[in-house]
Structure 1
Amino acid sequence: MSSRRYGIAGDLRHQITTGRIKAGERLPSEADLARQYMVSTPTLRSALAVLEREGLVEKIHGKGNFVLRPRRKITYVGGWGTLDPSTAADAALRVTVRRTEIRAHGRLTTLLRVPSGSPLTEYFCLSHEGESPHSLAHIYVPGDLTLTPACGDGSSCERMAMGFAVPSPPPAEVRETVCARLATPDEASLLQISSAVAVLAITRVAADSAGRVIEVAHLVFPGSRADAVFTTHHVINKRRTQG
């Protein structure tokens, strides 16, 4: 029945992307759709789950399945820790920043290479497209360093929207670990998505020229709302031969 599930998902996807079923519209009941496609209700629900993971459909308990309004995609530029200016501007992102003083614990001590209990500043950043959450970031900086600009509690900051954070001094090395996984319950709640939706999770570690870690950032984007682009520059050493 796996092929039938994807066939139904493909047909509904086509109707959604071509505008036959419009954003915000409620789909027919699951019982009606099951009869329409001549499948069992579990198979039909499995097909809808495919669309839910893709961010096309949202199931609201007690109300039914609704077509989500499309969110514009942004491009995360790897190695720089920034959002592509053109896509960030197109998406009209607004970032709310909350700053908290905390102590290093757990994996943060390993990533930041600091003793447990060391003072840190945490910046929690939640971006919005209009009134809807778009992506989130937790940024950790050693207590004696600051981000530029330093945004206070509940403030909005355009530069933070472009890159989430700009360490001061700027990093000499940036290492990023990227994975695709399901959203955690907290992430699903903050981003207003289903826990069945895949997210693009990026852990960014930035160090200065002396090798000191000056920032650790955990960035989370719903998979349907962001692309990550990484560019590799190959350096060829040219040796001069003397004859």
Structure 2
Amino acid sequence: MTPAVPSRRHTIAADLRTQISTGNLKAGERLPSETQLATHYKVSTPTLRNALALLQAEGLIEKVHGKGNFIRPPLRRITYAGGGRTPFDPALQVIIRTTNLRARGHLRTLLKVSSNSPLTEFLCITHEGKSPHSLARIYVPRDLAAAVQLGPSPWPQAVDPISAEIRETVTARLPTPEEATTLRISSTLAVLAITSVATNTTGRVVEAALLVLPGDRADAVFTTHPTTEERKTKR
């Protein structure tokens, strides 16, 4: 069987990828304009943009509106360990914006509260230098907002993860338009969307966290410990 011939967009992406990996194109460097690149590779502008989109999805370049395409620095990776135990990386800066709102729709369901119950939202965006790195929205009942603190995780927590029951749902999906814009990522780059709901010892939901981690810089690691009964059974 004759091997498939790479498409022009893949050939162009491969050439630019090699230039990045060998250092011919350096981090922070602005690429020539899309028109110039299209002329250089003798392709149409749409084909050239498709090639750049492949590199954007890999996190190798980023498109800054009104400025052009830039080579991205090597991305610092986030290891999400589950249960809110992601270690804080001092190389990342965290911007937190607090908003008071009322429980409606999916928030009412997540937090198991009545409609219009007072909540506090913590919108957290981590940055590596000037580049957005991850996004989190944490919701807690208003009466617990004063207890929220920035601990060993880059996101605020309303409860000690050791003493709470935490249920997490991890989904790989494409970013919403708002997420892609906020994180300055390609709309074709998959993200890890983690919904974490913490319940205290009385059964009250004290926190619902919606985390968005771009797939080009995030790993999720989960460790399972056997219960005492399971250990006895194996003996």
Aligned with residue 226 of structure 1, among 210, 218, 222? 218
Cα displacement (A) at 1:71 = 2.7
**Does the 8 Å contact 1:74/1:226 carry over to 2?**
yes
Q: Which residue of 2 aligns with 1:167?
A: 158
Give the Cα–Cα distance (whole angstroms) in 1 for the partners of residues 66 and 140 of structure 2: 44
Aligned with residue 81 of structure 1, among 79, 84, 102? 84
The secondary structure found in structure 2 opposite 1:134 is strand
Cα displacement (A) at 1:17 = 2.3
2:24 is matched by which residue type in structure 1? R
1:188 equivalenced with 2:180 (yes/no): yes
1:167 is matched by which residue type in structure 2? A
> Unaligned stretches of 5+ in structure 2?
none
Aligned with residue 24 of structure 2, among 20, 24, 27? 20
Q: Report how many aligned residue pairs link the two structures.
A: 228
Give the Cα–Cα distance (whole angstroms) in 2 for the partners of residues 30 and 240 of structure 1: 63
Q: How does 1:1-243 map to 2 (within 5 A)?
A: 3-4=6-7, 5-30=9-34, 33-34=37-38, 37=41, 39-60=43-64, 63-78=67-82, 80-85=83-88, 88-89=89-90, 92-146=91-145, 148-150=147-149, 159=151, 162-168=153-159, 170=161, 171-235=163-227, 236-239=230-233
**Does the 8 Å contact 1:82/1:163 carry over to 2?**
no
What is the alpha-carbon root mean square deviation over aligned residues? Answer: 2.9
**Does the 8 Å contact 1:104/1:119 carry over to 2?**
yes
Q: Tell me the percent identity.
A: 57
Give the Cα–Cα distance (whole angstroms) in 1 for the partners of residues 67 and 94 of structure 2: 31
> Unaligned stretches of 5+ in structure 1?
151-156
The secondary structure found in structure 2 opposite 1:66 is strand
When normalised by structure 1's length, the TM-score is 0.79
Q: Label 1:180 to 1:3 Cα distance change in 2 as closer, same or farther (>3 A).
A: farther
